Structures are given as structure tokens and as C-alpha cells.
């Protein structure tokens, strides 16, 4: 899941830079029901799902989605508690990467990100142009971490004959503090 602060006051040029960054990042992966699945949530005082993990079956449809035309707003520091939800996500085994632009709170970014924060999971820049500088490193870090995690997952499959992993998960009840992931069979 990509969680993006609503971008409504950054100006058209910066919005295009962020949009290009997200398109390039998504374009780095093979998207599909049995491949990488990407969802996008925007947040401000409220949160909303731009697309679920199973909305797009290819990166081309994701990149061309009308939902990406939304505007986005950035703050130097979060206006609500992000540390507790981030810790709960890490405790649940979810890998977190934090990207801050325009003087974000460095300590907050490190507190949000999964370890090792400074080396691979925290990115910070003075303006939006830095996103093009971090794209390759961020993509490599995400891919390496997925590979490491999948290695453990694949090893567990050798000892576990279950192969009924869900392929059509949906996100719902998105707020600034949580979101739910459900399988349609459980609805």
C-alpha cells in the first residue's frame, strides 16, 4: 500500500513531480494478481482509498487511472499521532518506508520507518525534485526487502503444504489510524 499525504497546496509543478515519481515507482514492478499488487490511500483529516490492492491488474491501467489526478497537501509535521499506528504496523510484520519533503520532522520519519531507518527506509529532501534522485535507491530497497521476506515465506511453504493464499484482498475502513484488509469470501 502506498500512503500519500493529500497534495493540494504544493502547486502544479510539484504535483506533476510527485505524480511522475509515483508513476515511475509503480512502473518498476510487475503488477498482476499473482505478482505485485499496489494500492493507494490518500489522507488528510480523513482518509480515502484511491484504489484497492486488486483494483488494477496491470501497471498501465494503474498509471492511467483517473484517480491519480487528485491534488495533494504536505505538512512539515504530522497533525495527528502517526507513531502508534506505525508501531502497530511494524509489529504486524509490515515493512514501512518514509519519504519526507520540505523540512519534515526527521525524528518522526525515523520513528515511522522500519529498521534500518537511516540506510534504506527513510528518504528526505528539501524540495520535490529530490524524488527523482531517490527513485532507484527506494525501488532497489523495496525489491531487496521483498526478496528477503519472500525467501522466508518460500522457506515456510516448503514445510507448509497450504497454497490457498488469498489473491483478491480488499482494503476498507481507511482512517488516519487504521485500515482493514478483507477477503471477499469473508464479507
- % of the chain surpassing 90 pLDDT: 0
Instruction: Please say if the pLDDT value at position 71 is more than 60.
Output: no
pLDDT (0 to 100) of residue 69 = 47
Q: How many domains does the chain have?
A: 1
pLDDT digits (tens, 9 = 90+) for 81-91: 778 888 888 88
pLDDT (0 to 100) of residue 164 = 59
Task: Tell the burial category of 84 from Cβ atoms under 10 Å away from its Cβ (0-12, 13-18, 19+).
Answer: exposed
Q: How confident is the model at residue 30 (pLDDT cuts 50, 70, 90)?
A: confident
DSSP 21-72: HHHHHHHTS-BSTTSB---EEEESSSEEEEE-TTS-SSHHHHHT-GGGG--E
Question: Taking all residues of the chain, what is their mean pLDDT, rounded to a whole number?
Answer: 75
CA distance 176 to 37: 22
CA distance 6 to 9: 9
Instruction: Please say if the pLDDT value at position 123 is more than 50.
Output: yes
> The domain spanning residue 117 has which CATH number?
3.40.50.410
Instruction: Please say if the pLDDT value at position 140 is more than 70.
Output: yes
**Low-confidence winner among 39-53, 64-78, 102-116 (lowest mean pLDDT):** 64-78
Work out whether strand 2-5 and strand 40-43 pair parallel, antiparallel, or are unpaired: parallel
CA distance 180 to 88: 13
Structural domain harbouring 106: 2-186
Cell of 126: 528539501
Amino acid at each position: 500500500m502506498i500512503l500519500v499525504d493529500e497534495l493540494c497546496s504544493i502547486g502544479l509543478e510539484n504535483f506533476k513531480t510527485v505524480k511522475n515519481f509515483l508513476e515511475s515507482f509503480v512502473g518498476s514492478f510487475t503488477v498482476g494478481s499473482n505478482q505485485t499488487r499496489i494500492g493507494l490511500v490518500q489522507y488528510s483529516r480523513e482518509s480515502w482509498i484511491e484504489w484497492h490492492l486488486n483494483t488494477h491488474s496491470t501497471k498501465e491501467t494503474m498509471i492511467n487511472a483517473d484517480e491519480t489526478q487528485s491534488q495533494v497537501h504536505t505538512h512539515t509535521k504530522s497533525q495527528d499521532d502517526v507513531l502508534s499506528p506505525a508501531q502497530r504496523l511494524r509489529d504486524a510484520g509490515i515493512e514501512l518506508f518514509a519519504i519526507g519533503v520540505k523540512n519534515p520532522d526527521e525524528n518522526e520519519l525515523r520513528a515511522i520507518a522500519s529498521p534500518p531507518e537511516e540506510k534504506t527506509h527513510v528518504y528526505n529532501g528539501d524540495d520535490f525534485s529530490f524524488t527523482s534522485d531517490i527513485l532507484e535507491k527506494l525501488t532497489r530497497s523495496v525489491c531487496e526487502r521483498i526478496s528477503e521476506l519472500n525467501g522466508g515465506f518460500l522457506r515456510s511453504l516448503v514445510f507448509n503444504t497450504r497454497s490457498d493464499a488469498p489473491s483478491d484482498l480488499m482494503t476498507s475502513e481507511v482512517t488516519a489510524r487504521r485500515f482493514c484488509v478483507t477477503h471477499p469470501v469473508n464479507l
